[in-house]
Structure 1
Amino acid sequence: MDHLLERITIDPNICHGKACIRHMRWPVEVIIDLIASGMSFEEIVIDHPELEKDDILASLAYAKITLSGKSLLEIS
């Protein structure tokens, strides 16, 4: 899971410091919304070719960590 979490970046200059994918303007919450809307991983990657399957898995891993009450700093 650690290699996936390396894909999650937090930069105050990108999306107001929200957790994003690889310094891009793709907040984790948007990826989670796409999954929640019923899109498959394959559909997401086809519609948004700048994303990779591991970005989606990283978003889910990050969501799991934050729901457990931990932060990326505690996991690193």
Structure 2
Amino acid sequence: MSNENLLSRITVDPAICHGKPCVRGLRYPVETILEYLAGGDSVDDLLAEFPDLEREDILACHEFSRKMLAAKSVHLTLA
């Protein structure tokens, strides 16, 4: 699946999750999927926990975050 096809799985609707980017109009914000992955859950864990998600949905979350990071500067404060 191409990157553009993956990105078509990410939707933004003010009526769903306060307009946060979500997977296919479902109530799964991209942010939440990424938090699960960052917390150590595997793709297979997520697919088992949320059966209406597809593997491509999780890849779409990765691609969306990659695009967002490439488009914006991120300023970090070093301790």
Same fold (TM over 0.5): yes
Unaligned runs of 5+ in 2: 73-79
Aligned position for 1:42: 44
Matching residue of 2:56: 54
Deviations 1:9-65 (A, max 9, x none): 000110111000000110000000010011110111001101111000000000001
1:68 is paired with a residue whose SS is helix
Residue in 2 that maps onto 1:29: 31
Higher gyration radius (CA): 2
Counterparts of 2:57 and 2:20 in 1: how far apart (Å)?
15
2:8 to 6, 18, 30: 6
- Tell me how large the CA RMSD over aligned residues is: 0.9
Q: Partner letter of residue 51 of structure 1?
A: L
TM-score by length of 1: 0.88
Once residues 69 and 5 of structure 1 are traced to their aligned partners in structure 2, the CA distance between those partners, rounded to angstroms, is: 15
For structure 1, the residue ranges without an aligned partner over 5 or more in a row are 71-76
**Partners of 2:58 and 2:41 in 1: how far apart?**
11
